[in-house]
Structure 1
């Protein structure tokens, strides 16, 4: 018989790539910190708003990576704690939501700074700023590769920081375009305009991420297809599913609670057996009631 500690570990509901993702977020956090320092210094020295925008976004990345890495570490260390009724798998989703808010604030900051530069333009040292912008983009692309999606678990924590970096790559590309246009064509407005467009893109990424993580934190149904499959299997012999709830526990893990009514109840284990092998279904509670009878005859 499994020990109590073994049972708790089985109910941790961490993603299969938890350790891999934790190591990579710590690595990328260190890379982003170095990039932030270089871009911020370049933006100040060369008076480039686009470069400063990239630096501000890099600062958000450092914070995002620290939040993501910390969430992985806490989830791992507290995986066996009885204080978490359904494990610690959702800590990553909470970190993803926090990072989405930071991303939204970053977009607002970039937009405000860019608008101010459009109104009061400053002299930009385009050549030096371009070098730093290109270098920043190269570093960001390396980080995007390090945090590339892996598997089918849909880890929203790693997805959040990956989205941060993807947005940063887009901002860096716009910065390069703005600086290049300013240097080649003398368009002083191109640099801050690139910052404004970058702010809009970052905001779009933030809204998308807020929706995805909030859906998990609010226990919204994660899969209409899985819900339909559960219902079909439980009603396979004429039973009726009177109540069914499905929610996400962590990357690759979902829980279901079902109430079945039938004229001829089977042992509750029979209904569990029908759901056996469903991908992504990690925790099941079934209550069986005789049709017309309010008394529950079994649960697990």
Structure 2
């Protein structure tokens, strides 16, 4: 059996680590502020947006913790270290958000039936701060969004949140000029459904990862093509692709070659091809001798 043991781990440079930590601190402070004002002035849209911002903090924390867990050394009991902790964190995050958004939707529907006066000026002021906070946090991740999936996810999430805060500001502006207090619970429902849409995707992906499914970002047909078309590969079988964390993908495959020469160079080459083409970090290849029935190939 031949295996590639050169597993490389992506590291988060210090500047990106500081971006995550600063984003967590600033957004945590703003979430507390938004919750306090939301309850004080009775604005459900601010409360809903605050819970949304809490999801941002949790998402940033998950990405940061996942990177930290990557550096935990494997043990005899946890042969991949603590990488799977990021998947558990994503599951917990998604379930908490579903419960929180459900509570907000119930409260907002009640407010629609019995609208309460809201200080529109304060709603706009607090949500306006959110535009600056979320927009500024997005800028922290702008430079690294092309080379790191975690950073890209953080950038897109924070940029979208700046847009949600803008929606709350516009609702506050309309309330100030029209006196339509029902706009506040309506905007909270909009925010809640936006978060539910994103949360459903997070929950689906986290469950798939927990069940060792092929990551949604990966095309198994492309992986199979890279293996099948690599020089000297005659056939392959028992191809498995799964996530060992929210950022790390593993692959195992059995294959037969047309020659027995240069196995080490072959393993290194195919592993690098899978890493470069499909972004698979952990590759284990077993080369089999003898004849393998092509009827079992897939």
| Partner residue of 2:38 out of 43, 57, 66 | 43
Q: Distance in 1 between matches of 2:124 and 2:233?
A: 69
CA distance in 1, matches of 2:258, 2:224: 23
Counterpart among 89, 102, 126 of residue 96 in structure 2: 102
Which deviates further from its counterpart, 81-90 or 139-148? 81-90
Q: Which has the higher contact order (CA 8 A, sep 6+)?
A: 2
What is the TM-score normalised by the length of structure 1?
0.77
Work out whether 1:59 is the aligned partner of 2:30: no
Residue 298 of structure 1 corresponds to none
- Alpha carbon RMSD of aligned pairs, Å? 3.1
Label 1:85 to 1:105 Cα distance change in 2 as closer, same or farther (>3 A): same
1: distance between equivalents of 2:100 and 2:159? 14
Residues 1:206 and 1:252: Cα distance change in structure 2 (over 3 Å):
closer
Q: How many residues align?
A: 279
1:230 matched to which residue of 2? 227
Aligned to 1:143: 137
State the alpha-carbon separation in 2 of the partners of residues 133 and 42 from structure 1: 10
Distance change >3 Å, CA 125–CA 273, structure 1 → 2: closer
Q: Residue 145 of structure 2 aligns to a residue in which SS? A: coil
Quote the offset at 1:106 in angstroms: 3.5
Residue-by-residue CA offset, 1:120-176 (whole Å, 9 max, x unaligned): 211111112211111122112112232446344433xx5665565455334322211
Matched, 1:195 2:191: no
SS of residue matched to 2:229? helix
The separation in 2 between residues aligned to 1:70 and 1:252, in whole angstroms, is 12
Q: CA deviation at 1:259?
A: 1.7
Unaligned runs of 5+ in 1: 1-6, 294-300
Residue number in structure 1 paired with 2:176: 183
With 275-284 and 261-270 compared, the bigger mean Cα shift is at 261-270
**1:96–1:213 contact (8 Å) kept in structure 2:** yes
TM-score (norm 2): 0.78
Deviation at 1:117, TM superposition (A): 1.4
Quote the offset at 1:38 in angstroms. 1.9
1:23 shift after superposition? 3.1
| Deviation at residue 63 of structure 1 after TM alignment | 4.2
Alignment of 1:256-295 (within 5 A): 256-261=251-256, 265-266=260-261, 268-269=263-264, 271-278=266-273, 279=276, 280-282=279-281, 283-291=283-291
Distance 1:126 1:188, change over 3 A: same
Q: Secondary structure at the match of 1:123?
A: coil
- In 1, the alpha carbon distance for the partners of 2:229 and 2:46 equals 55
Per the alignment, in what secondary structure is the counterpart of residue 15 of structure 1? coil
| Partner secondary structure for residue 212 of structure 2 | coil
Preserved CA contact (<8 Å) 1:265 1:288: no
1:205 and 2:202 correspond? no
Give distance in 1, aligned partners of 2:247 and 2:210.
Answer: 15
User: What secondary structure is seen at the aligned counterpart in 2 of 1:256?
Assistant: strand
Q: Which residue of 1 aligns with 2:296?
A: none
- The alpha-carbon deviation at position 207 of structure 1 amounts to 1.5
For the 8 Å contact 2:11–2:67, the answer to whether it is kept is no
State the alpha-carbon separation in 2 of the partners of residues 263 and 246 from structure 1.
24
Q: Select between 63-72 and 275-284 the one with higher mean Cα deviation.
A: 63-72
Q: Which moved more, 1:191-200 or 1:66-75?
A: 66-75
Specify the alignment match of 1:243 in structure 2. Answer: 238
- 1:204 CA displacement: 1.0
Per-residue CA deviation, residues 102-132 of structure 1 (Å, 9 max, x unaligned), is 3333332332222121122111111122111
Structure 2: stretches of 5+ with no match in the other structure: 294-298
